[in-house]
Chain A
Amino acid sequence: MKKIFALNLLALVLTTLLFFGCNQTNNKTEEKVSDDTIAQVEQKSIDSLPATDSTDKKGVVEQKIDLPKVLVYNFHITNRCVSCIAIEKATTKTLNTYFSSELKQGRVKQFILNVDEDANAKIAEKYQAFGSGLYVTRVFKGKETTTDLTGDGFKFAKNKEEKFIEILKNRITEYLK
């Protein structure tokens, strides 16, 4: 009788151990699968970025996860003047001509906002944009750096567009580094 009880107990212990052991293994496997999935997603999104140097793949991966982003804000009022329209037009031209891949990747974003609309009050207040304004902001590791290009916009966008484009292009290129 005692022998039967001991055998049953042993079987129970072994079954329990086996069950928990299997469960642990399964958990580990799931985590591993998850890790792999994340890595694959990151790798995929990074693969879509153009290579910039000859660093090995892993090195590139680490570099590109932390790339700066550039936000370009064209603020305007409801009744727009020719200069204001010219600034937006030249800005869009600059981005489409020189930063089309960065636009697709989301590394460069353009926002055309009417400061007279309530929905834009907060962002207009942040940039102190009460009328027409052009601001370029670099976002990197939670830090923002902004250049106010409003003056250059009014000076050059209408009658010296190529100079305006050069100024804006250089600023964005610098900010993407």
Chain B
Amino acid sequence: MKKPVIITFLLLLSVGVFSQKSNDTIIANNAKNLRLKVFYFHITNRCNTCFSIEKYVRQTIDNNFANQLELGIVDLYIMNCELPDNRDMVKKYDAYGATLALTSFVNGKEDISEDLTGWAFKKVHDPDIFIAELKSKIEEFLK
């Protein structure tokens, strides 16, 4: 009698873990072309502001850098910083909560990083400005 209960519990647990994992977005199409990684880390229990930041980041890239994303010039990482699988990335990018960062790459190696978290929380209440300024920052990195 106990076995089915345990199996059901483990199944539910694994479904829960995998469904959390499936929320992460990693778009990395061609490491050879890579010039910029856009990171947005978030916690599990997200607020509206956090969702809005992700939404505007996605809009900025989809509307302005879709081609670069497809070619692998720009990579996009939307990740839950509380998942055990992301622990190394969290440590590397010092992203223990909501964190927006840009990291440039030269010849496959990391070059300059800019933490835009404070900026993002300040500008998120004006989507037009958020998108316009993030677009400029990405363009600056791609020069």
Contacts and interface: CB of A to CB of B under 8 A. Distances in A.
A81 interface: yes
Interface in B41-72: 43, 45-50
B117 A131 contact: no
Contact of B117 (A82, A128, A155): A155
A156 B96 contact: yes
A131 B81 contact: no
Nearest to A83: B97
A130 interface: yes
Contacts of B43: 82-83, 158-159
Interface stretch (B2-10, B18-26, B104-112, B119-127): B119-127
A81 B45 contact: yes
Contacts of B78: none
Given A82-B45, A83-B43, A155 B98 contact: yes
A150 B118 contact: yes
Contact of A81 (B47, B81, B122): B47
B96 A155 contact: yes
Contacts of A116: none
A158 B43 CA distance: 9
B97 A157 contact: yes
B122 A154 contact: no
A151 B125 contact: no
Contacts of B115: 151
B96 A128 contact: no
Interface string B86-116: 0000000011111100000000000000010
A168 interface: no
A155 B99 contact: yes
Interface residues of A, number: 23
A160 interface: yes
A162 to B, nearest CB: 11
Interface string A119-136: 000000000101111000
B82 interface: yes
A152 B96 contact: no
Given A83-B43, A131-B124, A159 B119 contact: no
A148 B49 contact: no
A128 B98 contact: no
A76 B124 CA distance: 15
Interface of B: 43, 45-50, 81-82, 94-99, 115, 117-122, 124-125
17 contacts: A81-B46, A83-B50, A83-B98, A128-B122, A131-B121, A131-B124, A132-B121, A151-B115, A151-B119, A151-B121, A152-B118, A154-B99, A155-B98, A155-B117, A158-B43, A159-B82, A159-B96
Given A155-B97, A159-B96, 5 more contacts: A81-B49, A131-B49, A150-B121, A151-B119, A155-B117
10 interchain residue pairs of minimum CB distance: A151-B118, A81-B47, A151-B117, A160-B96, A159-B96, A130-B125, A154-B98, A150-B121, A155-B97, A154-B97
